[in-house]
Amino acid sequence: MIAIQSSRHIICPECGNDKEFLEVAEGAVLTTRYIQNSDGSFSQELDDSQILGEVKFYCGECGEDLTQHYSRFLEMLF
């Protein structure tokens, strides 16, 4: 099925969801650098990720594959 895309919204053709979506990256390496504070707690200093595989885009309600609209998602990501 093809997702319905109104002027700015991606809508799942399976369930009508237009609010919740999932971005799933295969083969990702996540690196987070932390600094330990004087009281023993930690603070995040840097967050870096590398995606080594394919990225998929899914409906967050029913799991329908909406990857064909992933570029639109990226355009609207702020």
How far apart are the C-alpha atoms of 13 and 1, rounded to whole Å? 7
- pLDDT of the residue at 3: 54
If you ran DSSP here, which 8-state letter would residue 53 be given? S
Give Dmax (Cα) for the chain. Answer: 55
Give pLDDT tens digits for 29-47: 999 999 999 999 999 999 8
Cα separations in angstroms, 72 against 2, 15, 57: 14, 19, 11
How far apart are the C-alpha atoms of 47 and 37, rounded to whole Å? 18
- pLDDT of the residue at 77: 83
CA 48 remoteness from chain centre: 15
Question: Contact 14/66 with Cβ under 8 angstroms?
Answer: no
